[in-house]
Amino acid sequence: MSEKCTECNGKGYSVTGTAKCPECKGTGKSKSVDFMKLSEKDMASFLKNGSVCNNCEGKGEMETRETCATCSGKGAFYKCKICGTNMERLYEGNEVCQACAKKQVVYKLDNSCTLDELEVGKMYHTVVRNIADFGVFVDLNSSLRGLIHTSNMTGPLEVGEAVIVSVKEIKPRGKMDLVPRKLKDYQTVELEKDLPVKLANEMTQMVGQRVRVEGEVIQVKQTAGPTIFTIADETGQISGAAFESAGERAYAEIDSDMMVAATGEITARGGSVQLEIQSMKRLSGPKEAEILKRIEAAIDRRAEPYEIEYMVESEVLEKLRPAMKKVAKEIRKAIIKSTPILLRHHADADGMTAALAIEKAILPLIREVNGQDGEYHYYKRAPSKAPFYEVMDVVRDISYALEDVARHGQKMPLVVSVDNGSTMEDVPAMKQARVYGIQMIVVDHHHPDEEVDKYLIAHVNPAHVGGDFGMTAGMLCTEVARMINIEVEKEIDHLPAVAAVGDRSEAEEAKKYIEMVSDRYSLQDLKDMALALDFEAYWLKFNNGKGIIDDILDFGDHTIHKNLVNLLCEQANEMIAEQLDVCMAHVKAQDLPNGAILNVLDVENYAHKFTFPPPGKTSGEVHDKLCRKYEGKPVITIGYGPDFAVIRSKGVLMNIPQMVRELHEEVKGGGVNGGGHLVVGSIKFVEGMRTDVLSKLVEKIGSVGVE
């Protein structure tokens, strides 16, 4: 058994440089030529090109080599097949060392072995299966059974007892005559059937054949009958069934993420094929590393995202291209490796359009890899009420993930967080996710904190390249979705426009996205869809609203879409109007030193609670009405409750995340935290310190610049 030396790649030497050829002194020409020995062809070449130095083949220089110290110039290591000892050479042509060659060899047959692997005179490990009057039947593996006749027995044997036997005779129809042997000193050699290693994408042509599969176990699922192992190689995956007994876990030592070699017969199962596993072993050492490297390289190639032209011209998008491609590649890689994807998003119009763009891109790919019902096992979308990944969210996610690991043998999920995930508020949840090895990706436009990048494998945020919150998550995710799966482009091209109006973006890109779909959707149509999303998100709470959200965003029947959006907007507008009728009489306004008009509203006492619109939406609607009232002037609206404040502004040059950090330090005992965009956000604090926090907040707002 030999292994190629990885240090010198099997050459036995390393090239340290080059030097002039000692024969021709670097000229590449031969010193002398024997014309009598030249053929007609060589003579013609000589007359045309001159003589060529045979030593350097006309190059004039030669490699300087150094013998590989690792393998001593042999280019390979020889290891004893029995004990694994390194050998200088093969001992008498056998793959065993001298010490093992002097000992008796007893073979242990793998379940893949058949009668073809048995040889008369050799010894094998067996287990007593049952006892008859004329002898004892023993199992050499799961499919080979032989007889120790009473005439060959030297003493009694019991069922389940391990016995070494030698093969005395192999009779017609596969019957074996075995003789028990008692050995004090022997070596065990595991024997496998020499089957061809086949790739997952070749299996449909291999029905009825016995093959060997090498790859990574990506899922183990116990059924009422067999245990189902999903094994992935560099071309795809194959489902393998192993049966111990009804409902009993087969190969309990094999779990997901392990590299294995499995042998068995390929059978047809409905419209697919399945490997009926006869034997399976975990691979380790160099073999494991070799297969893993091969698989990872292939997956890396297959996961490359599509090269796209953005739907609109944007300097910010171009600067974000490397980060967006990384996000797309990591998501594609997770799909190929059958890693479950958990899509987290803020429960508003921008967050939902961002999530739906990614969802529409990845579901066809998940079904392609894992079958038509793959989306129910390898994908989940979950809204977050807050614009950040709350601890409540991550605890729920971890709990469900651990349950899936225990019940279905799945991997921990890749969490893709859109329209949230960029701020310090996300860090506590991210820390919990890291404990369980959960990897996270973020596509967001809230003002980012550097701290979060320690917990992410990829992060897209326009602020990283000088952009701002005007480039919404819905815009970013639609472009990322096209990198993941270009075929969904026509289906999702209206989502950035809905996100733009839903988040009130004033970016140039927003105008371009809106204009791009103006032949299908008017500005009012887009606003209605955004309002319908916000309205329905309030009632859905933690439900993802699958189906309903599709209809609101016109992914199904267009008539249902129009009727549903009209109805939801009618109901939402009625409730908003009623809320404003109550609230506007209680708004208190004052002029700030910087010329801005500050409006404050106690939404706890002067707004309907536990209904639509919630405090944040209520504050936004009040702010919009006040902006129309004070058109052309800088306006700030604060809707506050016992322990929170929602801030909306127009024409005021604020940095809310920075204000939150300053308030946290300056108001001792206030428990201030929060964040959001630069000029739109929310703050939390302890109820008893509300007056102190709000007073300090107003003081800071009054000191900033205005447009």
| pLDDT-derived band at 351, boundaries 50, 70, 90 | very high
Q: Is 331-560 assigned to CATH 3.90.1640.30?
A: yes
Residues 6+ apart with CB under 8 A from 478: 311, 353, 354, 357, 492, 493, 495, 496, 499
* pLDDT tens digits along 615-625: 999 999 999 99
Angle formed by the axes of helices 495-502 and 473-484, nearest 10°: 160
Section 184-192 average pLDDT: 84
Q: Strand order in 76-79's β-sheet?
A: 2-4, 76-79, 86-87
The whole-angstrom separation of Cα 490 and Cα 481 is: 12
Which of 223, 238, 465, 442 minimizes the C-alpha distance to 354? 442
Q: Are 178 and 148 in contact (CB under 8 A)?
A: yes
Residue 299 host element (H or E): helix 285-302
The whole-angstrom separation of Cα 229 and Cα 219 is: 6
Q: What is the DSSP letter of 426?
A: G
The whole-angstrom separation of Cα 334 and Cα 344 is: 16
Q: Are 350 and 504 in contact (CB under 8 A)?
A: no
CATH of 103-191, one of 2.60.40.1180, 1.10.10.10, 3.30.390.50, 2.40.50.140: 2.40.50.140
* β-pair type (439-443, 414-418): parallel
Domain boundaries, the chain: 103-191, 200-302, 331-560, 587-701
* β-pair type (162-170, 176-181): antiparallel
Q: Which fold has domain 587-701?
A: Diaminopimelate Epimerase; Chain A, domain 1 (3.10.310)
3-state helix/strand/coil string of 216-248: EEEEEEECCCCEEEEEECCCCEEEEEECCCCCC
Average pLDDT value for the chain: 88
| pLDDT-derived band at 78, boundaries 50, 70, 90 | low
Examine domains 331-560 and 587-701 and report if their fold is the same.
Answer: no
Q: Taking 70 as the threshold, does the pLDDT of residue 46 lie above it?
A: no
The whole-angstrom separation of Cα 145 and Cα 138 is: 6
Percent of the chain with pLDDT over 90: 58
- What would the two tokens of residue 496 be? 């950035």
Q: Taking 90 as the threshold, does the pLDDT of residue 20 lie above it?
A: no
Work out the angle at residue 373's Cα, subtended by the Cα atoms of residues 412 and 219, and round it to the nearest 5 degrees. Answer: 35
Residue 544 three-state SS:
coil
| pLDDT-derived band at 517, boundaries 50, 70, 90 | very high
Section 344-372 average pLDDT: 94
> How much is the pLDDT for 49?
54
Q: Taking 90 as the threshold, does the pLDDT of residue 177 lie above it?
A: no
Percent of the chain with pLDDT over 70: 91
* pLDDT tens digits along 26-41: 777 765 555 555 555 5
* β-pair type (145-149, 237-242): unpaired
The whole-angstrom separation of Cα 152 and Cα 672 is: 87
Q: What is the DSSP letter of 249?
A: P
Beta-bridge partner residues of 638: 600, 647
* pLDDT tens digits along 265-275: 999 987 789 99
Section 130-143 average pLDDT: 90
> How much is the pLDDT for 679?
82
Q: Taking 80 as the threshold, does the pLDDT of residue 5 lie above it?
A: no
The sign of the CA dihedral 616, 619, 623, 624 is positive
Q: Taking 50 as the threshold, does the pLDDT of residue 92 lie above it?
A: no
- What would the two tokens of residue 698 be? 């107003």
Which of 652, 650, 674 minimizes the C-alpha distance to 662? 674
> How much is the pLDDT for 41?
56
* pLDDT tens digits along 454-480: 999 999 999 999 999 999 999 999 999
The whole-angstrom separation of Cα 304 and Cα 620 is: 41
| pLDDT-derived band at 91, boundaries 50, 70, 90 | very low
> How much is the pLDDT for 25?
74
Q: Taking 50 as the threshold, does the pLDDT of residue 560 lie above it?
A: yes
Residue 118 three-state SS:
coil
| pLDDT-derived band at 93, boundaries 50, 70, 90 | very low
Q: Are 238 and 222 in contact (CB under 8 A)?
A: no
Section 261-289 average pLDDT: 88
Section 559-579 average pLDDT: 96
The whole-angstrom separation of Cα 176 and Cα 149 is: 10
| pLDDT-derived band at 18, boundaries 50, 70, 90 | confident
- In this structure, the chain runs to a length of 707
3-state helix/strand/coil string of 59-101: CCEEEEEEECCCCCCCCEEEECCCCCCEECCCECCECCCHHHH
Q: Taking 90 as the threshold, does the pLDDT of residue 642 lie above it?
A: yes
- What would the two tokens of residue 362 be? 């990845």
> How much is the pLDDT for 96?
61
Q: Taking 50 as the threshold, does the pLDDT of residue 176 lie above it?
A: yes
3-state helix/strand/coil string of 549-615: HHHHCCCCCHHHHHHHHHHHHHHHHHHHHHHHHHHHHHCEEEECCCCCEEEEEECCCCCCCCCCCCH
The whole-angstrom separation of Cα 672 and Cα 663 is: 6
Section 77-94 average pLDDT: 58
Only one residue has tokens 């809310």, namely 656
Least confident of 32-41, 98-107, 397-406, 656-665: 32-41
Which of 587, 622, 590, 589 minimizes the C-alpha distance to 606? 587
Q: Taking 70 as the threshold, does the pLDDT of residue 707 lie above it?
A: yes
The whole-angstrom separation of Cα 346 and Cα 609 is: 21
Section 591-603 average pLDDT: 94
* pLDDT tens digits along 430-440: 999 999 999 99
The whole-angstrom separation of Cα 581 and Cα 58 is: 95
Q: Which fold has domain 200-302?
A: OB fold (Dihydrolipoamide Acetyltransferase, E2P) (2.40.50)
Give whole-number Cα distances, 551 to 534, 545, 546, in Å: 14, 10, 9
Q: Are 359 and 343 in contact (CB under 8 A)?
A: yes
